[in-house]
Amino acid sequence: MIRVGVAGASGYMGAELVRLLVRHPHVELTDVTSERLAGEPLAKVYPHLRGLTSLTLQGLDAERLAAEAQVVFLALPHMESQRAVPVLRRRGAKVIDLSADYRLHDPNDYTVWYQTSHDDQGNLAEAVYGLPELHRKSLAGASLVASTGCYAAGAILAMAPLFKNGLARLEGVVVDGKSGVTGAGAQGRNVDPMYLFTEANENIQAYGLATHRHTAEMEQELGALAGAPLRVQFTPHLVPLNRGLFTTASVPLAASMSTGEVLDVYREFYAGEPFVRVLDEGQRPTTRSVVGSNYCDLTVVVDRRTNRAVCVSAIDNLGKGGSANGVQNLNIVCGFSEHAGLEAPPVYP
């Protein structure tokens, strides 16, 4: 058993971490924080947890967290993680950060996309990008994990085999993401009118046109796989459901290939992955099939008329796009079975 803390437990990402960790066979949850709700019992704030935890939310104090926990999850807004990480690491705690603060290796990229300088470049240099399917070996020895962004997870997993195998052209990649409302910006229980039921329900809209920050993660990770820089034209959308993130990526192929040939490449790339399910030709992923879980369901179809691969993936934005993926990172960092705490099948329908 290891002692684990969650900073930012009152947001949806944090609440999902708690939901998974209270049943994790190797974890004792010892400390949960919320600036806004410090002093409140967690089970009062999140009534689904009634009877499942007796923890009370505390203020965010990195010293205390490091004393009470061996591993600390940070489910904080970006910029706030940068303040906690130096303290936590100095005190010997390992960190799994669900914010964006340590995802971009180049501090200049951080400045470009987050419009502020990075204040903890020393730790940034040691952070491992927390997508197990790409960085399992590095994660095994990591003490600072930058868990992937939700749109980035869906997009990178959808396209990685193409770039890793040199099958894609580097120009003309277009990615369209659709997210449920728990993920697309409604951080915690933020109350922007856009996220009111009456406004989000029966509605579709694009947002962050040409500016969404997860674009930088896609370019970093796919570029590394390709061995050359590339650009992604990415558009996120808000759709009326709670959980679910669907990615449609249109990738120009370097040469003519059949759908079956591309699928073979995918199956080989993801062979043995515990949480990626490559669908057979003719089957289609749906977000419904992964809700509540860490699975990513995906497939590819070649559009021969345009010689593009249409890569589609479905994840739960709080699952493989967030907290469950963070727990998988924890399992790798700590040497647990990757399934530990993630055994529950998706909830369907």
- Rg (the chain; Cα; Å): 19
* Nearer CB in complex with its own copies: 245/333: 245
Structure tokens at 88: 């936590």
**Torsion angle of C-alpha atoms 242, 77, 341, 29, degrees rounded to 10:** -130
Least distance in angstroms from the C-beta of 339 to its own copies:
10
Least distance in angstroms from the C-beta of 179 to its own copies:
9
* Nearer CB in complex with its own copies: 268/303: 303
Q: What is the Cα–Cα distance from 144 to 103, expressed in whole angstroms?
A: 11
- CA-closest candidate to residue 74, choices 137, 26, 11: 11
Structure tokens at 300: 């590819």
Least distance in angstroms from the C-beta of 136 to its own copies:
18
CA distances from 156 to 99, 128, 257 (A): 17, 16, 20
* Nearer CB in complex with its own copies: 140/344: 344
Least distance in angstroms from the C-beta of 104 to its own copies:
15
- Residue ranges with strand state E in 38-143: 71-74, 94-97, 128-130
* Nearer CB in complex with its own copies: 122/345: 345
Q: In this structure, are residues 298 and 278 in contact, taking their beta carbons and an 8 Å threshold?
A: yes
Q: In this structure, are residues 57 and 10 in contact, taking their beta carbons and an 8 Å threshold?
A: yes
Structure tokens at 297: 């369901």
Q: What is the Cα–Cα distance from 274 to 239, expressed in whole angstroms?
A: 28
Structure tokens at 197: 């039921």
Least distance in angstroms from the C-beta of 85 to its own copies:
28
Q: Could you give the strand order of the β-sheet that contains 94-97, starting from the edge strand earlier in sequence?
A: 27-33, 2-7, 71-74, 94-97, 144-147, 128-130
Which of 150, 296, 311, 334 is flagged as catalytic? 150
* Nearer CB in complex with its own copies: 102/234: 234
* Nearer CB in complex with its own copies: 19/89: 19
Q: What is the Cα–Cα distance from 23 to 309, expressed in whole angstroms?
A: 40
* 311 given a catalytic annotation: no
SS3 131: coil
Least distance in angstroms from the C-beta of 315 to its own copies:
11
Structure tokens at 8: 């930012």
For the annotated catalytic residues, the residue numbers are: 150
